[in-house]
Structure 1
Amino acid sequence: MTVEVPVKKLSDYERFSKEDVERILELGRELKGLRVVHVNATAYGGGVAELLMTIVPLMRDAGLDARWEVLEAPMEFFNVTKKLHNTLQGAEIEITEEEWALYEKVNEENAKKLSLDADVVIIHDPQPAWIPNYLSKGTFIWRCHIDTSTPNLKVWDRLTSRMGMYRKALFHIMDYVRAPFDKIAVEFPPSIDPLSPKNKDLTEEELEAVATRYGIDTSKPLITVVARFDPWKDLFSAIDVYRVVKSKRNVQLAIVSAMAKDDPEGWIFFEDVLRYAGTDKDILFLTDLKGVGHVEVNAIQRLSTVGLHTATREGFGLVISEMMWKEHPVVARPVGGVKIQIDDGVNGFLRHNVSELAEAILLLLENPTLLTEMGKKAKEKVRSMYLSTANVRRYLEVIKSVVS
Structure 2
Amino acid sequence: MDVVLRERSIEEYRTIIGNEVDEIKKLAEPLKGKKVLHVNATAYGGGVAEILHNLVPLMRSVGLDARWRVIEAPDEFFNVTKKFHNTLQGADIEISEEEWNLYEEVCRKNAELIQDEELFVIHDSQPAAVRKFVDLNDRKWIWRCHIDLSTPNMKVWQKFSQYLEGYNRLVFHLEEYFPQGWKERSIAFPPSIDPLSEKNRDLDEDTIRKTLERLEIDPERPLITVVARFDPWKDLFSAIDVYRLVKKEIPEVQLAVVSAMAADDPEGWFFFEKVLRYAGTDEDIKFCTNLKGVGNKEVNAIQRATTVALHTATREGFGLVISEALYKRVPVVARPVGGVKIQVKHGENGYLAWEREDLAGYVVKLIKDEELRRKMGEKGRQTVVENFIITVHLKNYLKLFLDLLR
**What is the TM-score normalised by the length of structure 1?**
0.99
Which residue identity lines up with residue 15 of structure 2 in the other structure? R
1:19–1:98 CA distance, 2 compared to 1 (3 A): farther
Aligned match of 2:179: 178
Give the match for residue 206 of structure 1: 207
Give the Cα separation in 1 of the matches to 2:14 and 2:130: 36
State the alpha-carbon separation in 1 of the partners of residues 284 and 115 from structure 2. Answer: 48
1:291 maps to 293
Partner of 1:225, secondary structure, is strand
Structure 1 position 116, deviation (Å): 3.3
Q: Deviations over 1:154-196 (max 9, x none)?
A: 1011011231111111100011111342111111100000010
Contact 2:131/2:166 (8 A) holds in 1:
yes
Q: How far apart, CA to CA, are the structure 1 residues paired with 2:212 and 2:229?
A: 21
The CA distance in 1 between the partners of 2:219 and 2:59, in whole Å, is 40
String of CA shifts for 1:87-132, please: whole Å, max 9, x gaps.
00000000000000000001111002x1432100000001111111
> Is residue 218 of structure 1 aligned with residue 214 of structure 2?
no
Structure 1 Cα separation of the partners of residues 18 and 91 of structure 2: 43
Verify the 8 A CA contact 1:242 1:358 in the aligned structure 2.
Answer: yes
Secondary structure in 1 matching 2:256:
strand
Identity of aligned residues (%): 55
The within-5 A match list for 1:99-178 is: 99-112=99-112, 114-137=113-136, 138-178=139-179
Which stretch of structure 1 is more off in the superposition, 181-190 or 347-356? 181-190
User: What residue is the counterpart of 2:344 in the other structure?
Assistant: 342
In the alignment, which of 376, 379, 382 is matched to residue 378 of structure 2? Answer: 376
Are the aligned partners of 1:223 and 1:252 in contact in 2 as well (CA < 8 Å)? yes
Residues 39 and 122 of structure 1 are in contact (CA less than 8 Å); yes or no, is this contact kept in structure 2? yes
The superposition leaves residues 55-79 of structure 1 with CA deviations (integer Å, 9 ceiling, x where unpaired) of 1000001100000010100010000
The structural deviation recorded for 1:238 is 0.1
1:142 Cα deviation after fit: 0.7
Distance 1:22 1:186 in 2: 25
Contact 2:114 2:134 in 1 (8 A): no
Give how far 1:20 is off: 3.8
Q: 1:386 matched to which residue of 2?
A: 388
Which residue pairs with 1:86 in the alignment? 86
* In 1: Cα distance, 2:115 partner to 2:166 partner: 15
Q: For the residues of structure 1 that align with 2:352 and 2:385, how far apart are their CA atoms?
A: 20
2:52 aligned with 1:52, yes or no? yes
Aligned equivalents of 1:351 and 1:363: distance in 2?
14
Shift of 1:368: 1.1
The residue that corresponds to 2:191 in the other structure is 190
Query: 1:273 pairs with 272, 275, 279, which one?
Result: 275
Is contact 1:172–1:187 with CA below 8 Å preserved after alignment? Answer: yes
TM-score (normalizing by structure 2): 0.98
SS at match of 1:69: strand
* Contact 1:37–1:66 (8 Å) recurs in 2: yes
1:235 — aligned with what? 236
User: Is 2:131–2:163's contact at 8 Å kept on the other side of the alignment?
Assistant: no
In structure 2, the residue matched to 1:2 is: 2
C-alpha distance in 2, partners of 1:12/1:213?
A: 31
| Residues in 2 aligned to 1:16 and 1:329: alpha-carbon distance in whole angstroms | 21
Alignment coverage as a number of residue pairs: 403
Question: What are the Cα deviations for residues 286-344 of structure 1, in whole angstroms up to 9, with x where unaligned?
Answer: 00000000000000000110100000000000000001111000000000000000000
Q: Return closer, same or farther for 1:20/1:41 CA change in 2, 3 Å cut-off.
A: farther
Letter in 2 for 1:51: I
How many Å separate the matches in 1 of 2:331 and 2:55? 26
- Matched letter for residue 281 of structure 2: T
- Please tell me whether the aligned partners of residues 56 and 67 of structure 2 are also in contact (alpha carbons under 8 angstroms): yes
Counterpart of 2:28, as a letter, is G
Aligned to 1:62: 62
Take 2:116 and 2:242, find their aligned partners in 1: how far apart are those partners? 50
| Superposed displacement of residue 19, structure 1 | 4.7
CA RMSD of aligned residues (A): 0.8
CA distance in 2, matches of 1:149, 1:394: 22
Q: How many angstroms apart in 2 are the aligned matches of 1:351 and 1:135?
A: 46
Amino acid at match of 2:360: A
**Counterparts of 1:336 and 1:398 in 2: how far apart (Å)?**
23
The superposition leaves residues 248-276 of structure 1 with CA deviations (integer Å, 9 ceiling, x where unpaired) of: 00200000000000000000100000000
CA distance in structure 1 between the partners assigned to 2:116 and 2:225 by the alignment: 43
Question: What does residue 75 of structure 1 align with?
Answer: 75
List runs of 5+ in structure 2 lacking aligned partners.
Answer: none
Hey, what's the Cα distance between the residues in 1 that align with 2:377 and 2:86?
A: 33
